[in-house]
Structures are given as structure tokens and as C-alpha cells.
Copies of this chain bind each other. A is one copy, B any other.
Amino acid sequence: MAFILQKARLFLSFFIVVTFSQTYANNGYDLWLQYKKTENNNLLSHYKSTVKSIVVFGTSKTIEISARELKKGLSGMLGQTIPKTSNIESDNVIVISSLSNLEKNFLPLIENDFVNLPDEGFLIKSVKYRNKNLTLIISKNDIGVLYGSFAFLRLLQTNQRIDNLNIKDAPRLKHRLLNHWDNPDRTVERGYAGFSIWNWHKLPEYIDQRYIDYARANASVGINGTVLTNVNANALILTPEYLEKVEALANVFRPYGIKVYLTARFSAPIQIGKLETADPLDEKVQQWWKNKAKEIYERIPDFGGFLVKANSEGQPGPQNYRRNHVDGANMLADAVAPYGGIVMWRAFVYSEHDPTDRAKQAYSEFVPYDGQFRNNVMVQVKNGAIDFQPREPFHPMFGAMPHTPLTMEFQITQEYLGFSTHLVYLPKLYEEVLQADTYAQGKGSTVAKVIDGSLHNNSLTGMAGVSNIGNDINWTGHHFAQANWYGYGRLAWNPYLSAEKIAEEWIRCTFSNSEEFVDTIKRMMIKSRETVVNYMTPYGLHHIMGTGHHYGPAPWVSNLPRPEWNPVYYHKADGYGIGFNRTKSGSNATSQYFPEVEKMYDKAKTTPEKDLLWFHHLPWDYKLKNELTLWEGIAMKYQQGVNEVYEMLTTWEKMKKYIDNERYNDVKMSLEIQLKEAKWWRDACLLYFQQFSEMPLPDGVHAPNKNLDYYQSLKFPYAPGRG
């Protein structure tokens, strides 16, 4: 008996507990369109009683897509199939229609709602019709129905009530574009989420499901245009072989309200047109572009137009022929004007022949041309005057060209902000820029008002976001980088939305409506942008990243052929202090701002400390508002950045129960990389700057484990995203 018992114990000891994860794996492919079943039972009952079926008016592909999306979303969130029906006499029906297709009996229910509603706007309205409850989703044209359908679904996704609705919404900007810096070999300049989703080789015949899902995701946030190709352009895209492929993409995107645009290589008439010049005042060149535009529009009647990077960083342009930006832009504008196309001419220029502060050059070069561009030209301006840094003061061009439509260029891909392993919620950055006051027409002349045309009464308005999309399964490499795509789209729709509201929407749509989770993760996201500034470039430092790939810290680099390519050009650390003097006593870049702003930035004491070293070269012992010396302040900020990443990691770990395993682990691994790299930034930068300050690290700042030589020796020959 004892023997048997012993045997049994032995036997049991062989068993192991294999834990099978009960959490459904989520690879993130579905983005913010998860449509999980509503967990709140009261709300679920409310939704079920309000939504019984869908009635559809109209036959366009866009309407069909809207109906399919509603069915998919509602069925998912209600946990039961919501059928399409043709019976509008039943109760609790969702009705989708454009105004022109709408059953005429309904018109009295919405008669005054369409006054002043723009073409792409929509109305979501709860009405009674013959004693039945209906929810109308109505728009002037079909694309507004799709936008309205996504907006309605978002109400459920974010756990809002859907009775007594009376929502009118419309985009504030006309052109809401993604810019893909994608090359024909599928590498993506500044791409960190794999490679280009455009599989040119298999186009036009092979329509990857990605293209459809890409269009759907964009439409869900109101993006209505996409520039398929890199601003460092390849003329090949304008050949018939490639236009056939572009046409295939345009056909996929059209029912989602998305137009395609291309980058125009200025030298294309020579490279693919066999002309001897690309001089914009040469008639043959002008004719070549007109013919090319005609060829494109014959294939793609709603082609959006051209985006051009000219005479910048080696790209050809009108200056190669002693012409100017106006000559170049207007030539292209004339070519596409007959078809309603536009030209977006980038202001991102700086010259190796111009010894003045790089931050001043775009303004100096473009502002004199104000009013000279054709009325289908927009000048596309980066948010700051250098290049997509973790923080930059707003670009002085905003407000300075009242007779020229300016379109905002934001970077969604994190070229300078940690690639796709750092969690940085960028709408916080976008909001800071959009809400900045240019004082162009006095106080309250925000950048947003420049962009949306209200300040200078422009009707040609737009925003461009440099895409962070690649062929990683989760689209953006980091699950939280999806929020930057989402948030960019929402701000392009309405630049007055708050970053916090957008974060909350995105969290609820993407992860969970649990209040603890939403509150915690929202706080983490909102703080994350300041965190990356802290551990990379506090107090207005900028452009001290690794050469070429921009990966990691390299403030020591000083041997590149063009002065403004070297980090030392930007931080100017020396025995006295640190920072770039852009005041009257320095480069006088402050003079490019309107007087109120100029005055503020021209003195260190009135400059917000977040921008301090952008404008001022200050001694190491300069006293900050918190009584620390500048050196101590810098050191403490780097340490704070590290501490905050550590907090993000522990916060994330505490939220584990709300998250599926796959996304939980992915984000956790990324946060661990971010923590490692935040420390790397802190240690490398402080060791380097300490050579000049010759001051000890203040208490609370961790001493580096390695010496400066080590950090300077690091090489990353295959860092991703180079052009």
C-alpha cells in the first residue's frame, strides 16, 4: 500500500501544469478598427435596442463600403449580426444615404441641417419617423456617408450613447495627405516598419489586400490623399510602365475618397523625356509637363497633383537653370490646372553655399515670393525650421506669407524620435505647433488658423504627414505608433482637436474601454512626447543625432563636409556654455518672427525654457527658473527622461491584464529598448557635454557605465530608413 502511494506521488510529480494563454493573440493588423464586443452590459443593451438593421440608399462603391463597414462594426460590437434591410418602416434602423439619394419623405427631418455643411461633411441625427426611431447618417456626397459611418461606429467604439444624436461634422482642411517617402525598390526613406507596402513589381495586376485595408484605415480618420513616392524622387514613376501601376492603386483608393499624388522629379524631362533641359521657362519643357499631365489624367481623372522637393539636398530644381521656385512651381501648376490638380512645393531648402543660419534659409528664400504662385500651388512647410526634431519652435514662415496657401508638413515616422521602438505620442507635438501663436494678425493668430485658411482667407488648405507605414504586420512597427497615424489624420480633419481627446479615442478603439486602462495609458501617452525631449534634446537642443541614419546620440560629430550637417553646428558647446544664439546678437533668426514672438525669443529670460538653447548660447552656470545651473538642469532632464521611460515600462506592466499577450509583449520589448536607448542618450550626451562644462553630475543623475570613447565607437552600418 505504501508502495502504491509512493508510486502515485511519483507519478503525479511527472505532471506539469502547462498554462494555455486564454487571451486571443492580436497582431495589430486591424489598427483602431477592432470592433470588439461591447463589454459594458448597459451600453450593450442600449446599442442593441437602438440598432436593429441598416438601410442603404445609393449604389456607389463608396456607399457599398459604408454599408459593409457598418455591418462589420456593428455586428462585432453588438455581438450579433446586424442585417441590411430594405424596410424603413421598421424600428431602430440606421439609414445611410447621400442627400440626393435620400427617400424624399425624410427630407423634412433634416431640412436646416445642410445649410453651410461642406461637401465632405456629414450629419448623424436621431429622428422619429412615423413613430419609429431612426438614426440618419446623411451627407451631401457619398464620401461623407463613409466618414459619417466611421464617426457613428466610433461612438460605439468609445462607449458613448447613441440616442438623441445630432452631430454635424466636416473637415476643416481640404487636402489631408499622407506623404510616403517610398522608393521604387521598396526601401522607405526614414521608414522603420519594414518596407514599402507598394509592391510595384506585382502591380498593376496584383491588388494586395493591404491596399484596400490601407485605404479603409485612412478613410476612417478622414485622410483623403496620398503621395505614393519619395520626395527624393525617381522619374521612373512618370513612365507609362509605372503610371499603369499608379492607376491600379488609384482605382483601389477612389471609393475610399482618397486621391493619389506623385512626386515630380524636376529633371524628369531630361531623364525620361529625352529633352536636353528641364528649364521651367523652356517651352518644350513646359509642353512636356503638359503632355505628361494629360497622360496621367487620362488614366487617373481625379489625380491629385504633384509634390516637389526642388533644389534641396541635391535634388534638381529650377535654380539649376537660374530660375526660381515660382518659375518651377507655376510651370507644374499650369500643367495640372486644366484637370483641377494642385502642386505642393516644399519649402524645405537650405544651401551649402549660404553661410547664414540654416534655420533662416527657407524663410529668406520663400517669403519674398508671397503672392507670386499660381492659385493651385501650396507651399509645404515643415513644422519647424530645421528638421522634425523632438521639439522645434514653430516655423517662422507660418503667418509670413498671407497671399500664399501654406500646407503643414508633419513627420509621423519617427526619424529623430526613436524609430519604431520608442513610444512617443506625436499629436502632442502637433498640437503644440498648431496652437502656437504667430501674432501675424495680432494675438490669437495661431498656426492652425494659418493652415485652415481662416487667418488669411485662403480656401486652398491642407496638411501633409510623412507616413510611418510599412509592411510590418502591425503597419507601424510599434503598436503605439498607430496612434500617430490616427492622430495625424484626426488633426488634419480638425486641427483644433485636443491631443488628449484623440488619445482617449484611440485607446478605446484600439485596446480597451476599461476606465483604469484608458486613464492610465492616456496619461502615459500624453507625457511621452516630453519624455523623448528630455532624454534626447532638452531645453531646445536639436539635431545631435547620429549621422545619416539619425539613430542614437552623436553630439560630437564635426567632420561632415557641410557645416550644417554636423551636430556641433547646432549645440555649439564650448568652455563658456551651450546653445545656438539666434537673437539679434547672433544669427538674428528671431527677426523672422512677428514682433511679439521675436521679442519673447530674443531674450533668454522671456524665452520658454523648453526652447532656451534653440535661441541662446548660455553659460553653463546660467540660472534656470528652478535655481539649478544650466549644466545641472540639462543633466537632470536627461535623467528625468530615463526615469520617465522606466515609469512607462512599469505602468505598462501593471496594465497587463487589459491587453492581449501579443501586443502586451511587443510593447514591453519596445519599452525595454527605449529604456536602454534613453540611458544611452543620457550617458553619451552628458559625457560629451561634460568635457566643456567641466562640472560634476548633480545628485540623482546616474554615472555612465562606459566612457565617451565607447559611445563614439558605435557604428550602425545597417540602421534602417536611410534613403
Residues of A within 8 A of B (CB): 11-12, 14-16, 18, 20, 25, 27, 29, 55-59, 63-64, 67-68, 71, 84, 86, 101, 103, 184-186, 194-195, 200-202, 205-207, 209-210, 236, 419-421, 471-473, 662, 665-666, 669-670, 672-673, 676, 716-720
Contact B84 A20 (CB under 8 A): yes
Contact A673 B202 (CB under 8 A): yes
Tell me the bound Cα distance from A670 to B208 in angstroms.
11
In the bound complex, residues from chain B placing their C-beta under 8 Å from that of A669 are 205-207
Contact A209 B20 (CB under 8 A): no
Contact B471 A205 (CB under 8 A): no
Name the residue among A18, A27, A673 with the largest chain B CB count within 10 angstroms. A18
A-B contacts, 12 listed (Cβ < 8 Å): A11-B103, A14-B58, A15-B55, A18-B63, A25-B209, A184-B718, A194-B471, A195-B195, A202-B673, A205-B676, A206-B670, A209-B662
In the bound complex, residues from chain B placing their C-beta under 8 Å from that of A720 are 186, 201
In the bound complex, residues from chain B placing their C-beta under 8 Å from that of A207 are 665, 669
Least CB distance from A524 to B in Å reads 20
In the bound complex, residues from chain B placing their C-beta under 8 Å from that of A18 are 56, 63-64, 67-68, 84
Q: Quick one: copies of this chain in the complex?
A: 2
The 9 tightest CB contacts between A and B, nearest first, are A15-B86, A184-B718, A16-B59, A18-B67, A206-B669, A205-B673, A195-B195, A14-B57, A185-B718
Least CB distance from A446 to B in Å reads 38
In the bound complex, residues from chain B placing their C-beta under 8 Å from that of A71 are 20
Contact B236 A717 (CB under 8 A): yes
Contact B209 A27 (CB under 8 A): yes
Select from chain B the residue with minimum beta-carbon distance to A673. B205
Least CB distance from A81 to B in Å reads 9
In the bound complex, residues from chain B placing their C-beta under 8 Å from that of A420 are 202
Instruction: Add 12 more A-B contacts to A18-B67, A194-B194 (CB < 8 A).
Output: A14-B58, A14-B103, A16-B63, A18-B56, A20-B71, A20-B84, A29-B473, A201-B716, A202-B673, A205-B672, A205-B673, A205-B676
Least CB distance from A327 to B in Å reads 31
Contact A15 B718 (CB under 8 A): no
In the bound complex, residues from chain B placing their C-beta under 8 Å from that of A717 are 184, 236
In the bound complex, residues from chain B placing their C-beta under 8 Å from that of A472 are 471
A473: which of B68, B201, B473, B716 is its contact (CB, 8 Å)? B473
